């Protein structure tokens, strides 16, 4: 099974959504983690918009990228354009992509939902490509 790391600046919104989708939609197909350049807290609005569609990410926590080893992952996906700030070992994995999705922080709940739906579509395509 391919191992995927989703990474974002603070691991609080977009990467948490991606982890939740990948764990749910990719169960038994891929192994997934998410992290941030710096850890923070999972945004409660993110938890809520994922719960709206039946995905519980309330148990997920924000983790720093430094807690992980790049050699353990086949695919690294940046969700915020932070790929330029990642250590080179992460960018040189078998698959690297920078999705550059807008951060919904401080925006309306509808913006969170739009970003959630964009993340879902990309995760579905990623799972299909990896399996």
What is the per-residue pLDDT across 103-126, written as a single tens digit (0 to 9) for each? 999 899 999 999 999 999 999 999
57 CB neighbour count, 10 Å cutoff: 21
Measured CA to CA, the distance from residue 119 to residue 117 in angstroms comes to: 5
Asked if residues 45 and 113 have their Cβ atoms less than 8 Å apart, the reply is: no
Considering its fold, how many domains does the chain have in total? 1
Asked if residues 21 and 34 have their Cβ atoms less than 8 Å apart, the reply is: no
Beta bridge partners of 78: 7, 98
So which residues are the catalytic ones? Answer: 8, 80
Longest dimension (CA), the chain: 38
Q: Which of 7-21, 31-45, 81-95, 105-119 has the lowest mean pLDDT?
A: 81-95
Q: What share of residues in the chain are helix, strand, coil (percent, to 5)?
A: 45, 20, 40
The model's pTM: 0.94
Domain that holds residue 35: 2-130
Q: What is the pLDDT of residue 113?
A: 97
Tell me the CATH number at 72: 3.40.50.2300
| pLDDT tens by residue, 64-93 | 999 999 999 999 999 988 777 899 999 999
Cα dihedral angle (36, 55, 98, 39), rounded to 10 degrees?
A: -10
């Amino acid at each position: 099974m391919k191992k995927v790391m989703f990474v974002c600046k603070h691991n609080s919104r977009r990467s948490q959504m991606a982890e939740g989708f990948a764990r749910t939609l990719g169960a038994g197909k891929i192994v997934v983690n998410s992290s941030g350049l710096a850890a923070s807290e999972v945004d409660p609005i993110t938890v809520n918009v994922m719960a709206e569609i039946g995905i519980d990410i309330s148990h997920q926590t924000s983790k720093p990228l430094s807690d992980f080893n790049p050699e353990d992952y086949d695919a690294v996906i940046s969700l915020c354009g932070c790929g330029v700030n990642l250590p080179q070992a992460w960018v040189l994995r078998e698959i690297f992509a920078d999705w550059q999705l807008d951060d919904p922080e401080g925006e309306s709940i509808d913006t969170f939902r739009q970003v959630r739906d964009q993340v879902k579509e990309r995760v579905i395509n990623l799972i299909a490509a990896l399996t």
